[in-house]
Structure 1
Amino acid sequence: MKKKLVTTLMALVLTLSLAMPAFAYTEYGLLYDATDLLDTDFASTMGENTMYAFTERNAVEIRVDVVDDLEDETIEDYARIFYDQYEYGYSGTDNGYLLMLFLTEDDTGLAYHDYCVICGGDDQEFLSGSLPSLETALDQWLNEAAWSGDLNQDNVSFQAAIQLYVALTDEYLSGGTGGEPAAETEPGAPIGEESDLSTPCVQDTAGLLTAQEWEELEQKAREISQQYQCGVYITTVDDYQDYAGTIRDCAKGIYQQLALGYGSGKDGIMLTLSMADRDYWLLAYGDFGNTALTDYGRDAMSKEFLDNFAENDWYGGFSDYLEACAVYLQAAQDGNPVDVGSDSKPLTMGQKVLGAYGIALAVGLVIAFLVCRSFKAKMRTAVEAAEAEEYVPAGGVDIHVRQDHFLHTTTSRRKISKDSDSGGTTVDSDGFSGSGGKF
């Protein structure tokens, strides 16, 4: 009896010891992390907001599973087991995508091993048309070299891959859900070839935006980028010191590592926020990017969004930034970039306020004129008196004497120096221009 009890207890201990690794995972809605080492803010924003919004909009479920053990299966077979066993896919059709990553912990962070993307459901044949181009795009972030740094760099690679995965599948499906491809999209056609934007324009690592806000800003940024053939980007990080020694180097590093920019010249404009100490950096790259965003123009553009950020209005600030980018890029395209001495200078906030007051004042004067005119019409029965005494009240006039003595006056003068700034853009040896500060 005692021997049987010991055997039972040993079996229980062994079972629990084998089961312990299964508890070391975290689920963030549609994103599953078995390593428990990924950035929690980013994972929760994507898995619980962005990917759910994608699913409802396209009627196609999108998932990400990060595993640390394939249990002697190939990653494709393991992904299919997950998809079928856990009944992935949109309700009623089972349509869905699953990106599975095989990662394990190492001395520096996470070691990359393999990945795959599968799809399923009633419209699997159509959905699979996007896989070749999607995998080609993901290869730039899902490889051993991209995961050879520290944990922070591994998370940057992960975030870039996931946002790219969501953005490109969304682009493929837009206008063509329900089993019928979009009229302008053939299954298997290269994703992003027409737009030349293989990476999402909005990289919200700090999690400042809701899913809907991210989608609206992403769409607007892509439209502007495509219209002017110059990438327009937004990036947010928790702390730039996790990436580089300065906010400037952090912004430049993100631009280079994510291979941002439009066309062969990699033209682009990017606004980066670092939330730890509320730093920002506004940069430009490429011939057209640097032409559109002059030294004077950067200072003027910053005023468009800093007032929003001061009140923690992130969506409003980013929206104003994108609108300003469209104005500046149009001016540069017309050959008259916003700069010192140009006639395309945008209105400052003070000028906008004064303009609004001016309009209100004009309307008020018109109304006052009409009211006074109405009063005057009612007083036409009044008759002018012939004698001055008729204007004196019955009790007479009580006049008090008042004397004013002029003593002295003071005049002060200040020399106003002329602005000798000749305009243009100061570009560093790496091809970047930029400036920043606090918000």
Structure 2
Amino acid sequence: MEEKVYSVSEVTFYIEQLLNTDPYLTNIAIAGEVLDSKSRNGHIFFYLRDESAAIGCVIFGGENRGIRLTDGQMIQAWGSVKLYAPRGIYRFICRKVKSLSQRGVMFLKLRQTYEALLKEGLFSRPKRPLPKFPSKIGVVASRTSAAFQDIIKTLQDRYPIAEVQLYHTGVQGESAKRALIKALKDVNDTEDLDVVILSRGGGSTDDLWIFNDEDVVRALFNVRHPVVTGIGHQIDTVLADLTADYAAHTPTAAAQMVVPDIKEIMNDFYESLEQHYFWIQDQVASTHKQMRSHIQLVTRFSERYLREEKIRARTDFENLIRVMKTIFERYNSKAEIFASRLLELDPKKPLKRGYALVKKNGSRITKKDQVLPGDILTLVFVDGIRKVMVLNEKEENN
């Protein structure tokens, strides 16, 4: 079979037809950086480039209308890709261009980052369940921020028996990105955390922009523990929110999400206990009614049989009472034990006996090695708190 040989014109015409009929190359918008801009015969020739590619562009004189382009300028251009047959090259024929502001460049980069991470699956990972009763909670925030103080207050009010470990980081400024990534790595290296809160209070779009950074989002994705974000206010959404397991509207809401309310637990327990008590009462009353019905029934029989049935009924009733009493005592004993344990967990109970709770940066101090000279400590008494400074490491014997 003779091989088909095409002419240059045939191949070029075919390519031109493909370009002219492809909807992805016709009436589209391209954003990028202007490179090698030149003006010839009233037309403007230049390249648009990004990090990995470039495309030749032209604005013909009829579409020019006083447009001035400079190298390095970020623009968005509308037009179509066309083939210049005499030279066998394709160009993007622009019919309109718009200069992008710094804010526009930021949001363009954000969209590109979002689409890339979405394609990789960083936003579609199955959500990890939150523990019902966390023992240790990691908080990534600035120790001096109002957001951290709101989280500590909420956790102490709702679930004071949980331990809180702060991973301090700046969340604004040139060094914030590096500090935030390090804090997330430290979180990942801590094995005994049950859940993590990533928090930052409200601020402008620029203030929250670090949580859209690709490197920060990837570091957050790699955290082994369930993560809840509480960044900004209710209307703010950043890429970190999409990466986390759960996103709360505020730092306070994030703290409420990770712990139960111990008051509600107690109320539920006592309601359950009351329901069991009334259920036992109903069972006793129902059984007593049945016994009386049986006694009335057997009166129709002989006196001897009646005496035997009465004895049997009385024995059954007494056995039932003993069983019901045992069940009730068992529930009552469990209730007393549970109530006693809950009372023992009251963090203020030792304070009433003259002790004080020592904290540093929101975390409890249990050993002297956790304290250094110059540290500022918080002493929590039963009637208030005091700030103190550690002077030296001198040990005194009582």
Same fold (TM over 0.5): no
User: TM-score of the superposition, structure 2-length normalised?
Assistant: 0.26
User: TM-score of the superposition, structure 1-length normalised?
Assistant: 0.24
Task: Work out which of the two has the higher radius of gyration on C-alpha atoms and give 1 or 2.
Answer: 2
